[in-house]
Chain A
């Protein structure tokens, strides 16, 4: 009897050890075989943010395809559903809620606009699902998504370089090149991304001895911006700061050039996509912004990414595509190491969250890691529009 009991205990111990090591390793090539990693992306495919969302989506889809073709994450295939929030905050929250509860996604990506993130990120935090922002660069995205509360959000991450870094870098770069004396700020007051960018401009200009003559605000849906541009041009500034998104920067630039203004446009993240450069055309030539990514950057995984993207979609990727692509790779890497069970969604989401904090991969954005506040620390590329739908590099600013 004792021998039998000892024997069965030994056998049980051996089996437990074997199961433990197979499951506990996690990096074992096939431990997730047959499972699906469900991800949801809330993006602005239409509406004001519709110039950015499709790029993020294409970058993400490329990454998913590549990972799945290479065998998936430890054998699990990634299933990514992209839903459109029409650039509307309420719709964004609604779509996210569906993905969290009905679709039972493991993690979310997005939303595209900082304005929507105000609603979606606290929701994700509250529902304890990891969410990776791939294009929101406004203030108080991470870590205090529940601003004005200063309790850090544990489930919100971003891989998109914040305006708090980008705008000052851009202004500093131009100030040291050209020493402008005066500027006017044009900002869409009813959009968080734009108004956040405006605040950053206001806080930064004095450091570089630029006198901000006036801040002109308008509604993001107004079609006729002529009176505002006329006011700005009438002040004869050296620089016009444009922190808006979508179709607005191009319109302002075209109108200002029409009215004979020859100065420098400085912008934010809203400039960093081909559609804006193309719409602005010749009027936008030389307009500068700081970007998280540049087509010709020499990081190891960038060239492959660019080639693969061009092959798949027939045109160059942009910053948003690179950030979307990196986002999927970040989540995939975290999922690999997270020991997912696929039977306890809440537990898996938390494990993924913890694993994301220790991500360290090569990406088209460079070597990628999160900071302690789930933000991104990376090289900044100061770029300018080339007047023909593209960008050229002005400066590369390495992280401090």
Chain B
């Protein structure tokens, strides 16, 4: 059972890290950035390619992976979101726009095979790959009947520290205050002299960097990197997490992530394995029915 708790904490950390990015964008912009799972995948893919196909050091590859993800955040803002904002398009247009970009990113990775246009990005096509052993330090300890794996354990402090840092920034810094102001009321924020567009771009950058990092940690610790890890592992679960935790609430996303990890693993242990995915959505459904604003979400007000 102890081992299962460890499994839950690990996957919960990934979900939490991923969902924080989701909820940040939702809180500030009131839209769901559905390219987030593609950025998750891209971070992992870039890191893998740099190590395996371009012979770079693992740590450098990770940094570059995060930077590429952050850059993709800017692309999302400038290509998908800003033009629609200028035209005062309804939020659903932005949603679809991000879906479109996600499809493009994933297709680019999927097409990557030796000799093709995208071979610099990825050469394994649709196949799952794993980091070669020895690429990064991954000691394994056996303590009290539990197996502790370095790469999985490392995810926990990294996630926790990042979430704390983000929380601090949001609460106690000028930038954080500006972001919260934009989240509250963009028009009033603009009147207060805040450069709203810049704040939105910053939000996307931070969110995507977190998403990319989550992808890297996931791919490295689980030994599974493919164009589909975003779609299969976190895309829809991320939505479940932010609904559970309250859309727009960062502590909510963190709590929701760990909760979902725990629920899923307990479902496997107690109910048998076929129900793992179903359980996530049952929890989501239950939350929507009982408390639609999630744990920490603001009470929904009627928009007149």
Contact = CB atoms under 8 A, between A and B. Distances in A.
Given A247-B128, A259-B147, A219 B277 contact: yes
A251 B268 CA distance: 18
Contacts of B222: 223-224, 226
A234 B3 contact: yes
Given A50-B127, A51-B127, A279-B130, A230 B276 contact: no
Contacts of A50: 125-127
B1 to A, nearest CB: 8
A65 B177 CA distance: 70
A218 B276 contact: yes
Contacts of B233: 222-224
B127 A227 contact: no
Nearest to B234: A223
Nearest to A87: B126
B229 interface: yes
Contacts of B273: 216-218, 227-228, 231
B185 interface: no
Contact of B3 (A217, A247, A259): A259
B264 interface: yes
Contact of A227 (B126, B265, B277): B265
A246 B226 CA distance: 13
A219 B231 CA distance: 13
A222 B265 CA distance: 13
A260 B223 contact: no
B205 to A, nearest CB: 26
A389 interface: no
B11 interface: yes
Contact of A47 (B126, B133, B147, B268): B126
A359 B11 CA distance: 54
A66 interface: no
Interface in A37-62: 45-47, 50-51
Query: Nearest 10 CB-CB pairs, A to B?
Result: A46-B126, A227-B268, A221-B232, A223-B224, A247-B128, A226-B7, A46-B125, A259-B147, A230-B3, A50-B127
15 contacts: A46-B127, A50-B125, A50-B127, A219-B277, A222-B276, A223-B224, A224-B222, A226-B222, A227-B265, A231-B269, A234-B3, A247-B224, A258-B140, A258-B149, A259-B3
Interface of A: 45-47, 50-51, 86-87, 189, 216-219, 221-224, 226-228, 230-231, 234, 246-247, 251, 254, 258-260, 279, 281
Interface of B: 3-4, 7-8, 10-11, 110, 125-128, 130, 133, 140, 142, 147, 149, 218, 222-224, 228-229, 232-233, 264-265, 268-269, 273-274, 276-277
Given A51-B127, A251-B223, 16 more contacts: A50-B127, A217-B273, A218-B274, A218-B276, A222-B276, A223-B128, A223-B232, A224-B7, A224-B222, A226-B10, A227-B269, A230-B4, A231-B269, A231-B273, A258-B140, A259-B3
